[in-house]
Structure 1
Amino acid sequence: MKDNKQSEKDSSADNVDEYLQTLGNEDARERRYYSQEQPFSADEMTRLVNEERLNALLAQSDAFLSSLNSEIKDFNDEC
């Protein structure tokens, strides 16, 4: 009976140790992944970005912010 209990304890300890090692490996793997990130060069960005679509989105956002700004100003004037 004592041998079974001892082997169960060893098994639990082994499982915990194995789990902790796995956590450590995942952290190392994540650090390695992010350390391999490299910024895009200007040429790559030019090739990847659809400039026409970007300009349209920027115009939409400018129009939205302008509209929002006038609504806020009107709200403040009413108060």
Structure 2
Amino acid sequence: MDGCLNILATDYPTIKFCRIAADITGLSRHFRVDGVPALLAYKGGQIIGNFVQLATELGNDFFAVDVERFLIEYGMLPEK
């Protein structure tokens, strides 16, 4: 997911992409194994999307274009 967000940040310069490593968050081991990668989307300080265990949706081997398509489908990114 980290590499995907790096690419998307370049492709969408007006959108802020932030990330945090699951191993430093203090999350439970169970969530770190079963819940990540997770993606939370905010607009104006309010959460507008909360996607947990994205590997279920995207598969274990996904690319930036897959994450982009997913975010566009859910209205989190504008279409190009």
Q: Same fold per TM (> 0.5)?
A: no
* Larger of the two Rg values belongs to structure: 1
What is the TM-score normalised by the length of structure 2?
0.18
